């Protein structure tokens, strides 16, 4: 099955107060880590969608095998960035059968998790992660949902599409490590050091 990946990294990170996409774990930025994980899981093409901090991110080399879209409408919200990313992915590879949606600020996403999610497409046309108290990204959508994804706008993201359809779930307890504040980053680094 041919699966492309959209790595959403367009946000301003206002709660964090700095471009968290460039925070590093063992010398690798969060955005590069997400791209590498998608590549390791066999996704092709892999597209990173940039916005607020595009200039700073583009100053660094892009991982080999990764495409970049600087989305001029990033301020409209995550839905707008996702729609633009899916459109660009389909321009790059019109024969895609599914799209994986990832966030740059979830450092515990692994290639094994993404492989497990692919298996979930046997049971449903959307696979979401079970975060414990909620469901969310990463998320995998079969081509049946491409039009809905490309119609998203504002802050209505992938969950808005998933809400209207039967969805398979994959457990992802480490989703709690969503880096949205300096305190969350410090806690994550503390956990890594243990």
3 state SS for 114-145: HHHHHHHCCCCCEEEEECCCCEEEEEEEEHHH
Cβ atoms of 11 and 178 closer than 8 Å: no
How far apart, in whole angstroms, are the C-alpha atoms of residue 109 and residue 175?
A: 8
How far apart, in whole angstroms, are the C-alpha atoms of residue 194 and residue 187?
A: 11
Q: Output the CA–CA distances (angstroms, integers) from residue 152 to 36, 87, 119, 145, 177, in the order listed.
A: 26, 11, 26, 11, 26
pLDDT of residue 14: 63
Cβ atoms of 177 and 188 closer than 8 Å: yes
Ordered by start, the domain boundaries in the chain are 3-193
How far apart, in whole angstroms, are the C-alpha atoms of residue 50 and residue 11?
A: 8
How far apart, in whole angstroms, are the C-alpha atoms of residue 168 and residue 117?
A: 9
How far apart, in whole angstroms, are the C-alpha atoms of residue 63 and residue 81?
A: 20
How many CB atoms are closer than 10 A to CB 133?
7
Number of helices followed by number of strands (H, E) in the chain? 7, 9
pLDDT of residue 184: 73
Q: pLDDT tens string for the chain (194 positions)? A: 999 999 999 887 666 666 778 888 888 999 999 999 999 999 999 999 999 889 989 999 888 999 999 999 998 989 999 999 999 999 999 999 999 999 998 888 999 999 999 999 988 999 999 888 788 899 999 999 999 999 999 888 888 899 889 899 999 876 556 677 677 778 777 776 55
Closest Cα partner for 75 from 156, 11, 14? Answer: 11
CATH of domain 3-193: 3.90.550.10
- Confidence (pTM): 0.91
């Amino acid at each position: 099955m041919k699966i492309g990946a959209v790595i959403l990294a367009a946000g301003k990170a206002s709660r964090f107060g700095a471009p968290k996409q460039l925070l590093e774990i063992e010398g690798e930025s969060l955005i590069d880590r997400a791209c590498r994980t998608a590549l390791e899981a066999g996704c092709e093409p892999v597209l990173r969608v940039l916005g607020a901090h595009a200039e700073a991110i583009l100053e660094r080399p892009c991982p080999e095998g990764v495409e970049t879209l600087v989305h001029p409408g990033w301020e409209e919200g995550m839905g707008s960035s996702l729609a633009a990313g899916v459109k660009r992915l389909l321009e790059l590879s019109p024969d895609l059968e599914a799209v994986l949606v990832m966030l740059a600020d979830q450092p515990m996403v692994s290639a094994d998790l993404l492989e497990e999610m692919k298996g979930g497409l046997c049971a449903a046309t959307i696979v979401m992660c079970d975060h414990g108290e909620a469901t969310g990204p990463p998320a995998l959508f079969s081509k049946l949902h491409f039009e809905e994804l490309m119609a998203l706008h504002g802050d209505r993201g992938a969950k808005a599409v998933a809400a209207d359809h039967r969805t398979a779930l994959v457990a992802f307890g480490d989703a709690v490590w969503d880096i949205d504040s300096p305190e969350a980053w410090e806690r994550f680094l503390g956990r890594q050091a243990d």
